[in-house]
Amino acid sequence: MSDLSISAPALPALTPLRFALVTTFYPPFSFGGDGIYVQSLARALVARGHHVEVIHDTNGYRSMTGTDPELPVVPNPADDGIIVHRLRSKHPLLAALQVQQFGKPGVHRAEIAELLGDRFDVIHTHNISLIGGPGIWELGSAVKLHTAHEHWMVCASHILWRDNREVCDERHCLRCVLNHKRPPQLWRATGLLERAAKNVDAFLMLSESSADNHRRFGFTPPMTVVPSFLPNAPPLAETAKATVRSRPYFLFVGRLEVIKGLQDVIPQFSADLDADLLIAGTGDYEPELRRLAQGRANVHFLGRLGMDELRVLYRDARAVLTPSRCFEVFPLVVLEAFRESTPIIARDLGPYPEIIRESGGGLLFSDDQTLRAALDRMISDSAQATKMGADAFETYQRTWTEDMALTAYFQAIRAAALAADRLKTAQTCGLWIDAIQ
């Protein structure tokens, strides 16, 4: 993904805060969503003068992919000032398995404890599934936050996708994790999560849907919804080369996996549908999707594209399709579409009903008939599609920009700091809130 960040607005001289961002995946050792979010947050904080150190694990990524990605030869200027600690073991699979099984930092415990120490105002954990599990919450001394990027705290498969075939509505965890071809996690039967969670001052959720799912599956600590965001970026130039297509098109962007639901979309693109489907992404399910698309001249696989190309595709699409079969938390693809004033057609599941309810930026579907109706409506009523896109962009500016999200983020830190009797951190956060606003 190419860099689209721009300088943060000038702020008055304020005391910077010291942040530790702790996560399993961080670019280039990452698969998408959570790693990109942490990187965007680190860049946004550093751009505003804060001290940021990222502590992340490479063992999980290396053991899952069998690769060891090289760091960029020319560092991105947006990363200037971010200190990244990349933990690595000579035996990445064993190191990752130890954490996965016992839910505590393993071979890197001493290193993590030393890094966290007593040096930070805020320790913010993200995806900690393979860097330390719940046990990592016991390390360090600061205001402690945790953001749930998946449903890992209540689901061993992380995505509430039961038996690797359907949305989960009740627990059959042992059978399910075996069907996901993962080893059962011993720590989930010990009460470790509940005990360790007492060390966290605030649990941050990216959607009400995610918070509701956590409550439904027994997670009891209070949760605060803090909006996701995209990094500051220059507007897409009016002169940016348009996609040259004679017919309207719909766009899908993401990993090609069974849970993403494209197998429900492709059959709708029969010869009588006067629109194309553009699919940007790659993944394990791609061969099956290509087989399903055989003979459909209006379905096009584009492979993985950079953000410069994607932004033009977003802008010119009639709508972006988000048909995930499982519970998403808050996909960045929605914000990428809304930033370009493009509506979405989304499955009536997870965060999408609340996104549509808040923004008016699209349509929901629940089955083949309502999906086809949504596609037909977007094709036949271009004025309504444009109006939905405009509403989506207006809500994006009001809720999901970098400044709006950081304001909510510092408000959450301030509330957690007050509750933890860390008055100096709370006061500093208050000043930063006033400055951002």
Amino acid identity for residue 254 in this structure: G
Cis peptide bond prior to 16, omega within 30° of 0: no
Band (168; pLDDT cuts 50, 70, 90): confident
- Is the separation of the CB atoms in 125 and 146 below 8 Å? yes
3-state helix, strand, coil in the chain (%, to 5): 40, 15, 40
pLDDT given at position 377: 96
In CATH, 249-399 is 3.40.50.2000: yes
- Cα dist from 65 to 38, 93, 285, whole Å: 21, 11, 16
pLDDT given at position 81: 94
Look at 36 and 244; give whichever has higher pLDDT.
36
pLDDT given at position 75: 85
Query: What does the pLDDT average to over 169-182?
Result: 83
The residues, any chain, with a CB within 8 Å of residue 272's CB and separated by 6 or more, are none
Q: Quick check: helix, strand or coil at residue 222?
A: coil
Question: What mean pLDDT, rounded, does the chain reach?
Answer: 92
Look at residues 223, 194, 204 and name the one whose alpha carbon lies nearest to residue 103: 194
Q: Where are the domains of the chain?
A: 18-231+401-436, 249-399
pLDDT reading at 55 higher than 60: yes
* N-term to C-term CA, the chain: 29
Read off the pLDDT of residues 282-308 as tens digits, 9 standing for 90 and up: 999 999 999 999 999 999 999 999 988
Band (238; pLDDT cuts 50, 70, 90): low
pLDDT given at position 188: 93
pLDDT given at position 12: 54
- Beta-bridge partner residues of 253: 280
Please state which of the four CATH numbers 3.40.50.2000, 3.30.365.10, 1.10.3720.10, 3.40.50.20 is assigned to the domain occupying 18-231+401-436.
3.40.50.2000
Residues 88, 74: Cα–Cα separation, whole Å: 22
Look at 176 and 93; give whichever has higher pLDDT.
93
pLDDT given at position 3: 46
Query: What does the pLDDT average to over 340-352?
Result: 97
pLDDT reading at 328 higher than 80: yes
Q: Do domains 18-231+401-436 and 249-399 have the same CATH topology?
A: yes
Torsion sign, CA atoms 92, 97, 100, 102: negative
Residues 309, 243: Cα–Cα separation, whole Å: 9
Band (2; pLDDT cuts 50, 70, 90): very low
Band (131; pLDDT cuts 50, 70, 90): very high
* pTM for the full predicted model: 0.91
Band (8; pLDDT cuts 50, 70, 90): low
Gyration radius from the chain CA atoms:
22
Q: Where do the DSSP E strands lie in 31-142?
A: 51-57, 82-87, 122-125
Look at 226 and 74; give whichever has higher pLDDT.
226
Band (242; pLDDT cuts 50, 70, 90): low
**Residue with structure tokens 């897409």?**
236
User: H/E element holding 315?
Assistant: helix 307-316
Instruction: Output the six-digit token pair for 398.
Output: 């009001």
pLDDT given at position 31: 86
pLDDT reading at 192 higher than 50: yes
168-175 contacts at long range (C-beta below 8 A, 24 or more positions apart): 171/217
Query: What does the pLDDT average to over 343-367?
Result: 97
